């Protein structure tokens, strides 16, 4: 560092000894350089602390410019404590202080201070971010991350040891299961310091909005208004994706709500309407919207009415007015609770749609017009009246053109309750009776099938009026033509009626040339019936026709005379007719194509026959024996009608774009659930059909029919390191195969199998999801599934991972005596141990010994509790006046895989991987009711050095057991009271014996205490006098006389007791 005012440079400007280890020496060099323009006196002085040593050779003379003074600072670490000092540098009498630091070896932990998860939607997806915990120190350091917020955020690993000069990546997960703004803080504790980690993010709702096309206001309902039966009303709205991610949607209609269409029983004599999903629809009814994208939707209202199946046309009334209202749902694709519960979904957009269907009430008066005779070229006029009887809507009408009649006006518009006069003019152009039907068509807007978003005017209703008239003509007789030539005087037109055949001649024909020729047989040269029948289709040649006038349409036509029936010459025009060679070429050309068509037809039929032969007439033996008791199936008429009805395609409007209804979906789902589960499916497509089906890019409406659920798999309370399984259901409501894959990215779900299945159409499959956690705490992650390798969504996995634990029936056990047991064993009670987790739990009871010891025991003291099972432990109190009435037991619960063995009273081996509970045991002894008949025990006169005994009785008159104790069982020398303590059962008594062995002659009056548990001490007295014995033997000697060897002799003697007490 340069000091300009002194003209020197000192490097370094502070001396630091980091990460020093005890009993080691460290050195650093300090340089003081003269950078001024004149010599300076430079002196370096040592620090004050002796642990810092300065090795320097201070110059006696000033230091010239450009030269420097160098010193070495040495530090010997004598302790693991931080040291601070300074070095003083003298520059021409001015001091500069350089600080010195010595830091012992320690870890230096740092961590990223913030995590930004970004913006996501609430679709149960798990978002992962990675941060690093770095240790730049020289010793390892443990850390622990603690997060106490309410957001589903997890850290893995949340605790570990960071080695020196290394880092550990930490995976931070956020489950996007709810809409929230993340602005929270997690703490990392390491090296007695707390580091804060800022957590930032935003989770938005997957939300669709329906907007008004003009002002972008959000719509909650859509009212079409009213229209006539047969019309189509359309409405435009904007579907808006108000989320930052793409969403796929599918529309459906709720038919569970009651409307005017709902009838308990529809009679065959009443009008019917098309189904609700045909009346109301939307186009497009499915799709994918990009983030914040808007898309126009075209809603359509198409009411139709159908005549009754059984009714009289003359008494048939008009269809009634119908007010139709329904809810339309735009459901977002994803994990679903089921098609039957779609109305409870939280991801749907609900729109109320309403409309009114009105009948056309139009009348024509009169319904028939009779015109008088009208000659051609003249006209006759009459009036009819058209009347709109509707009170609500106007009518657009038109009259189609009719031959011989003119209508004025031919089209127009009638307001409600308006009557209009129509002029109908009869203008005949032909002769005879002219009967026509005048049709008044009511026009309505109907959707163009080729352009579904546009409408066109078409007739939706008609009324009829019969028009009747007669037309005559004023005829002129044409003058006869006279010809002065060789031809006949009267000559008719030549060449007419050349196509008249023989069989078309009537028995009487007005034409003179063939007059009654059909009856004439005189001129027949051949009378054979067969011969005559062959000429019935021949054309008739008239007598006055010239030869060139017979121009046949076909070379093969033949002409015969009407009377003689002889075949006449057939003229062929050589200018236009084909020659024989040309006709032969044409025939050969046609034969070539006919032969080609026949060959191709034969080849196709041959291929079909070959396939059928290979399919049925192969070598595979099916084990079927022809005629072995087989009978043809009996086909019922109901089955035939059912198949016929199934094959009929409905002709309802909008049927191509119809929406699925909630009742249809619920019925389909229930049908699949009633089917047995499919098992043993392939994990990859094998057949060609499976490969083709699994490669199809499914539309949103098809994906909507694939139900994957439930959307949340809640494992509940789970024991650590213990596997538990729940099932994820997949309902394939399509008619094709689909490929469903489970994507597992968590170590706790690695045991899940199978991960992929090819699911056939109309089937129900379950995926077993196995969860085996290794970390304790709340587990919140997502599991993704993929359909046909392109569509991915998520299922929420939640579990509370806990250590092995046991639930006690009570934490405070009150023990009372049981009346049906012996008094010694009556104080006992049972505590229930329930294992609420999914893994076996091993337990051990350890008593807590108090200053008075313990009088409680518990059995069994150790054991294993199976999952969701209960074990009973019995606690027994061994009562006495010295026994404590209260004691505690510690229950240690640990996993059965733990190989540790816990000694009885050694608590030093208790691990952090176990759970402990405390049981308080209290013995409740009732107050006893007793009496002592002899509270003063009188021994009277007793001999010295002899044992004298007396007893007194304790009578228990109550219903509780009695525990007693002699406070001093040896009140004086030679006195023993036994038993010193004991138990007196309810309703019984016991005797206490006092033994006195006096060794001196005294009178005694001794008091001792009788203590009963739970009551005051009773005083008992014992009295008596010790006397010396007075015994006399009357015989002074015993003379046995002579007694042979090995023989025995006996004599009796007497002892006399002259004292008042007994002796032994």
How far is the C-alpha of 729 from the C-alpha of 715, rounded, in Å? 15
**Cis ω for the linkage preceding 12 (within 30 of 0):** yes
Q: What pLDDT sits at residue 515?
A: 47
How far is the C-alpha of 823 from the C-alpha of 291, rounded, in Å? 81
Higher per-residue confidence, 685 vs 46: 685
Task: List phi, psi (to 5°) of 417.
Answer: 65, 30
First-to-last CA distance in the chain?
117
pLDDT per residue as tens digits for the range 362-379: 999 999 999 999 998 889
Higher per-residue confidence, 624 vs 805: 805
Q: What pLDDT sits at residue 470?
A: 93
Please work out, in degrees rounded to the nearest 5, the angle formed at the alpha carbon of residue 222 by the alpha carbons of 218 and 224. Answer: 145
**Is residue 1020 pLDDT above 50, yes or no?**
yes
CATH superfamily placement of domain 807-900+914-923: Immunoglobulins (2.60.40.10)
Burial of 626 (0-12, 13-18, 19+ CB in 10 A): exposed
| Ranges of CATH 2.60.40.10 domains, the chain | 2-104, 114-204, 208-259+272-310+318-358, 362-472, 675-802, 807-900+914-923, 930-1027
CATH superfamily placement of domain 930-1027: Immunoglobulins (2.60.40.10)
CATH superfamily placement of domain 2-104: Immunoglobulins (2.60.40.10)
Per the CB < 8 A criterion, the answer to whether 16 and 103 are in contact is yes
Radius of gyration of the chain (CA): 60
Q: What pLDDT sits at residue 642?
A: 60
Which residue's entry shows tokens 């010891």?
853
Fold of 675-802: Immunoglobulin-like (2.60.40)
**Cis ω for the linkage preceding 793 (within 30 of 0):** no
For 172, the token pair is 């931070």
**Is residue 26 pLDDT above 80, yes or no?**
yes
Q: What does the DSSP 8-state code read for residue 317?
A: P
Per the CB < 8 A criterion, the answer to whether 429 and 406 are in contact is no
Q: Of 3.40.50.12780, 2.60.40.10, 3.40.50.1100, 1.10.1130.10, which CATH number belongs to 208-259+272-310+318-358?
A: 2.60.40.10
CATH class of 362-472: mainly beta
Q: What pLDDT sits at residue 641?
A: 61
pLDDT per residue as tens digits for the range 480-498: 454 444 444 444 444 444 5
Q: Of 3.40.50.620, 2.60.40.10, 3.10.129.10, 3.40.50.720, which CATH number belongs to 114-204?
A: 2.60.40.10
Residues near 377 by Cβ (< 8 Å), separated by ≥ 6? none
Task: List C-alpha distances in Å: 233 to 219, 262, 282, 356, 1022.
Answer: 18, 22, 11, 11, 119
pLDDT per residue as tens digits for the range 285-337: 899 999 999 999 999 999 998 887 766 655 667 888 899 999 999 998 877 77
- H/E stretch holding 305 reads strand 305-306
Per the CB < 8 A criterion, the answer to whether 367 and 386 are in contact is no
Per the CB < 8 A criterion, the answer to whether 198 and 185 are in contact is yes
Task: List C-alpha distances in Å: 72 to 22, 68, 69, 327.
Answer: 20, 13, 11, 89
pLDDT per residue as tens digits for the range 715-774: 999 999 899 999 999 999 999 999 999 999 888 999 998 999 999 999 999 999 999 998
pLDDT per residue as tens digits for the range 420-430: 999 999 999 98
CB atoms within 10 A of CB 363: 13
**Is residue 905 pLDDT above 80, yes or no?**
no
Per the CB < 8 A criterion, the answer to whether 241 and 307 are in contact is no
pLDDT per residue as tens digits for the range 78-121: 888 888 888 888 888 888 888 998 888 888 899 998 999 999 99
Q: What pLDDT sits at residue 910?
A: 39
- H/E stretch holding 991 reads strand 989-996
């Amino acid at each position: 560092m340069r000091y300009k005012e002194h003209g020197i440079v000192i490097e370094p400007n502070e001396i630091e000894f980091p990460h020093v280890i005890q009993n080691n020496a460290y050195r650093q060099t300090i340089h003081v350089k003269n950078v001024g323009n004149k010599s300076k006196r430079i002196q370096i002085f040592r620090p004050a602390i002796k642990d810092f040593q300065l090795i320097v050779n201070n110059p006696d003379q000033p230091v010239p410019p450009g030269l420097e003074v160098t010193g070495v600072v040495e530090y010997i670490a004598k302790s693991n404590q931080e040291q601070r000092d300074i070095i003083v540098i003298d520059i021409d009498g001015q001091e500069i202080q350089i600080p010195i630091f010595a830091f012992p070896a320690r870890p230096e932990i740092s961590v990223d201070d913030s995590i930004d998860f970004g913006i996501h939607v609430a679709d149960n997806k798990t978002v992962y971010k990675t941060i690093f915990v770095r240790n730049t120190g020289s010793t390892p350091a443990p850390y622990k991350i603690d997060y106490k917020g309410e957001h589903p955020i997890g850290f893995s690993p949340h605790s570990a040891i960071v080695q020196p000069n290394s880092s550990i990546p930490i995976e931070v997960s956020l489950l996007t299961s709810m809409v929230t703004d993340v602005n929270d803080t997690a703490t990392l504790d390491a090296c007695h310091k707390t580091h804060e980690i800022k957590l930032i993010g935003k989770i938005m709702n997957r939300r669709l909005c329906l907007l008004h096309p003009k002002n972008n206001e959000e719509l909650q309902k859509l009212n079409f208004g009213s229209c006539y039966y047969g019309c189509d009303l359309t409405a435009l709205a904007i579907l808006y994706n108000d989320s930052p991610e793409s969403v796929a949607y599918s529309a459906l209609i709720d038919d569970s709500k009651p409307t005017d269409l709902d009838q308990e029983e529809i009679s065959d004599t009443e009008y019917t309407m098309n189904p609700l999903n045909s009346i109301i629809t939307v186009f497009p009814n499915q799709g994918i919207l990009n983030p914040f994208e808007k898309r126009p939707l075209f809603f359509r209202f198409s009411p139709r009415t159908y005549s009754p199946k059984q009714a009289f046309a003359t008494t048939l009334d008009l269809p009634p007015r119908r007010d139709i209202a329904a809810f339309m749902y735009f459901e977002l694709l994803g994990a679903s609770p089921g098609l039957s519960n779609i109305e409870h979904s939280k991801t749907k957009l609900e729109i109320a749609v309403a409309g009114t269907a009105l009948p056309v009430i139009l009348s024509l008066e009169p319904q028939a017009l009779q015109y008088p005779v009208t000659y051609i070229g003249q006209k006759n006029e009459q009036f009819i009246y058209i009347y709109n009887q509707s009170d609500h809507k106007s009518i657009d009408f038109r009259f189609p053109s009719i031959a011989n009649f003119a209508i004025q006006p031919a089209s127009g518009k009638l307001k409600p309750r308006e009557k209009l006069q129509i002029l109908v003019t009869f203008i005949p152009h032909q002769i005879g009776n002219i009967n026509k039907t005048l049709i008044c068509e009511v026009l309505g807007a109907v959707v163009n099938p080729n352009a579904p978003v546009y409408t066109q005017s078409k007739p939706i209703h008609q009324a009829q009026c019969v028009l009747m008239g007669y037309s005559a003509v004023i005829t002129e007789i044409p003058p006869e033509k006279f010809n002065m030539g060789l031809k006949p005087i009267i000559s008719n037109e030549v060449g007419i009626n050349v196509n008249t055949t023989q069989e078309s001649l009537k028995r009487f024909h007005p034409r003179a040339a063939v007059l009654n020729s059909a009856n004439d047989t005189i001129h027949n040269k051949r009378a054979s019936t067969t011969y005559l029948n062959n000429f019935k289709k021949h054309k008739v040649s008239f007598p006055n026709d010239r030869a060139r006038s017979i121009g046949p349409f076909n070379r093969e036509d033949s002409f015969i005379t009407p009377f003689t029936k002889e075949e006449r010459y057939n003229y062929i025009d050589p200018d236009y007719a084909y020659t024989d060679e040309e006709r032969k070429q044409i025939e050969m050309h046609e034969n070539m194509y006919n032969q080609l068509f026949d060959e191709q037809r034969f080849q196709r039929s041959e291929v079909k026959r070959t396939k059928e032969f290979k399919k049925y007439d192969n070598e595979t033996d099916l084990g079927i024996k022809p005629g072995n008791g087989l009978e043809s199936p009996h086909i019922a008429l109901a089955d035939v009608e059912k198949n016929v009805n199934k094959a009929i395609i409905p002709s309802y409007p909008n049927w191509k774009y119809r929406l699925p209804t909630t009742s249809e979906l619920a019925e389909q789902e229930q049908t699949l659930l009633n089917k047995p589960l499919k098992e043993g499916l392939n994990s990859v497509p094998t057949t060609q059909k499976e490969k083709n089906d699994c490669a199809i890019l499914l539309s949103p409406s098809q994906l909507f029919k694939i139900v994957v659920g439930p959307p949340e798999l809640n494992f509940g309370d789970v024991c650590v390191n213990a596997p538990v399984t729940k099932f994820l259901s997949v309902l394939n409501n399509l008619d094709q195969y689909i490929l469903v894959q489970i994507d597992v990215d968590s170590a706790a779900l690695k045991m899940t199998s199978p991960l992929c299945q090819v699911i056939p159409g109309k089937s129900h499959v379950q995926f077993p999801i196995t969860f085996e956690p290794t970390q304790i705490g709340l587990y919140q992650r997502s599991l993704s599934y993929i359909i046909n390798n392109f569509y991915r969504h998520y299922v929420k996995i939640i579990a509370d991972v806990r250590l092995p634990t046991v639930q006690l029936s009570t934490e405070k056990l009150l023990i009372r005596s049981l009346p049906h047991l012996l008094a010694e064993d009556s104080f006992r009670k049972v505590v229930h141990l329930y294992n609420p987790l999914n893994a076996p739990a091993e337990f051990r009871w350890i008593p807590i010994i108090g200053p008075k010891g313990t009088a409680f025991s518990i059995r069994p003291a150790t054991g294993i509790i199976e999952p969701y099972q209960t074990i009973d432990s019995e606690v027994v109190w061994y009562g006495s006046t010295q026994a404590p009435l209260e004691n505690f037991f510690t229950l240690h619960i640990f996993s059965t895989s733990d190989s540790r063995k816990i000694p009885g009273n050694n608590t030093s081996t208790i691990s952090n991987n176990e759970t402990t509970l405390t049981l308080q045991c209290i013995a409740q002894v009732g107050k006893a009711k007793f009496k002592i008949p002899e509270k003063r025990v009188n021994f009277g006169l007793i001999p010295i050095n002899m044992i004298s005994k007396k007893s007194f009785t304790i009578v228990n008159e109550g219903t509780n057991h009695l525990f007693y104790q002699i406070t001093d069982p040896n009140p004086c020398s030679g006195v023993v009271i036994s038993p010193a303590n004991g138990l007196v059962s309810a309703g019984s008594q016991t005797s206490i014996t006092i033994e006195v062995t006096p060794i001196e002659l005294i009178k005694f009056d001794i008091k001792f205490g009788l203590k009963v548990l739970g009551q005051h001490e009773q005083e008992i007295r014992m009295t008596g006098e010790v006397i010396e014995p007075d015994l006399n033997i009357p015989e002074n000697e015993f003379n046995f006389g002579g007694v042979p060897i090995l023989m025995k002799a006996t004599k009796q003697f007497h002892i006399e007791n002259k004292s008042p007490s007994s002796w032994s």
